[in-house]
Amino acid sequence: MPRYSSDQERQDARRRTRREYYARNRESERARARERWSRRTDAPATRRERVRAAAPSAQRILLPATSAHLGEGLQIHDARTDLKQVLVTLQQDLRGWSGNLHLATIHDQLALKLIDAEQRKRRSQKLQRELLIKIQHATFVYDVASDAMDAAISQRGLRSKLVGRLDALATEAYDLKAGVEEMVLLSDLDNGSLKREYNEGRLSWQRRYADTM
């Protein structure tokens, strides 16, 4: 195992590892999405497609505009799908993630709730459900945006403006998902890590929104 000269150096190494982990996850997910798109016409249902099919009510609730446009399953079936409209509906649905509040405010509220739950040694079912919904909501947006981006690449080429906008949306959704998952992971360690990272302003969402807080 590597040796560190100080606790600060050890903490910095852990944060770098965590950032690299999320970056690798996102790139591998995008690679898998491209592979799925290339085989979509005659391939069996993928795991993600089965998950979508199993939760149509959650999709309609969390992504009402996109569900109305694409139908249950949130599938982009062929070149006739209006990808620009997919972008518009996804942007509309993602705004529902935070309601009228700033994204940083939502993260801050969740962080404080998790810190309080850790100190009480008990996470309520209400909080657990709230966390799950936030992760699921962002995941739905990320999945559809990634599929739409891959379809746009196939139809318009990598340099298309639409591809760039879909990629930016997928990135935003992934960052929201990863930000909540990071806090849950730190809270699950049950050693005060979340509170320390929060107090030092070192959580990924705190760095992302540092200029707006």
Inside any domain, residue 31:
yes
pLDDT tens sequence across 99-151: 889 999 999 999 999 999 999 988 999 999 999 999 999 999 999 999 999 89
Inside any domain, residue 183:
yes
On the question of pLDDT at 71 being above 70, the answer is yes
The 3-state secondary structure of the chain, one letter per residue: CCCCCCHHHHHHHHHHHHHHHHHHHHHHHHHHHHHHHHCCCCCCCCHHHHHHHHCHHHHHHHCHHHHHHHCCCCCCCCCCCCHHHHHHHHHHHHHCCCCCCCHHHHHHHHHHHHHHHHHHCCCCHHHHHHHHHHHHHHHHHHHHHHHHHHHHHHHHCCCCHHHHHHHHHHHHHHHHHHHHHHHHHHHHHCCCHHHHHHHCCCCHHHHHCCCCC
Please give the tally of structural domains in the chain: 1
Q: Which of 4-18, 27-41, 64-78, 84-98 has the lowest mean pLDDT?
A: 27-41
* Rounded-to-integer distance, Cα 183 and Cα 187, Å: 6
On the question of pLDDT at 33 being above 70, the answer is no
pTM above 0.85, yes or no: no
Inside any domain, residue 59:
yes
Q: Which carries the bigger pLDDT value, residue 112 or residue 33?
A: 112
Inside any domain, residue 14:
no
83-92 average pLDDT score: 96
Inside any domain, residue 173:
yes
Inside any domain, residue 7:
no
Inside any domain, residue 65:
yes
Owning domain of residue 124? 26-208
Inside any domain, residue 13:
no
* Rounded-to-integer distance, Cα 84 and Cα 156, Å: 12
Question: What pLDDT score was predicted for residue 1?
Answer: 43
